[in-house]
Structure 1
Amino acid sequence: METEAVVQLIRTGIPGAKVQVTGDGSHFEAIIVSEVFEGLSLLKRERLVMETVKDQVASGELHALSVKARTPTQQAAQG
């Protein structure tokens, strides 16, 4: 699976999100910044992101996805 395909899946599931994905074809790391995450726990944020790629995980096309889900305020604080 290509990184751009993962980006598109997440953007489709979380419209308006800023998405950055790195990886090696089966293991990926994603940084997602969206206002949707405001007020959600880290677990709920991760579940929301994983829902966007559940079919690819179920089929084995995507083996692992590390998620960093941040609000715009949190991202700005990261520098």
Structure 2
Amino acid sequence: MECKAIEQLLTEALSLEEVHVTQDGTHYKIVAVGECFDGASRVKQQQMIYAPLMEQVTSGALHAITINAFTPTQWKREKIFNMPA
């Protein structure tokens, strides 16, 4: 599955402010940013991401997925602390 298609699917399903998907072979990395993650546990955040992708996961179109979910406030802080010096 193409990264842009995953980004669009997640953006529409979860009303995300930002979503970035990268692919390395069969491994996908998803960084999702949205208010919908506010107050949700890490497990719940991952379940929220997996839900709209379940058809592709069960079909085998998506295999290994790494998920990082942030609220907009967390994302701003994450970008500051992880910017190259």
What TM-score do the two structures reach when normalised by structure 2? 0.85
Please state if 1:52 is matched with 2:85: no
For structure 2, the residue ranges without an aligned partner over 5 or more in a row are: 81-85
RMSD: 1.2
Moved more, 28-37 or 10-19: 10-19
Q: Which runs of 5+ in 1 are unaligned?
A: none
Tell which structure's C-alpha radius of gyration is larger: 2
Runs of 4+ in 1 over 2 A off after TM superposition: none
- Deviation per CA, 1:15-50: give whole Å up to 9, x if none: 133100111353100100000100111110010001
Q: How many residues align?
A: 79
Matches within 5 A, 1:7-46: 7-46=7-46
Change (3 A) 1:12 1:42: same
> One-letter code of the match for 2:75?
Q
Q: Which residue of 1 aligns with 2:64?
A: 64
Identical residues among aligned pairs (%): 37
Check conservation: 2:16, 2:32, Cα contact below 8 A: no
Alignment partners' CA distance in 2, 1:30 and 1:60: 17
TM-score, normalized by length of structure 1?
0.91
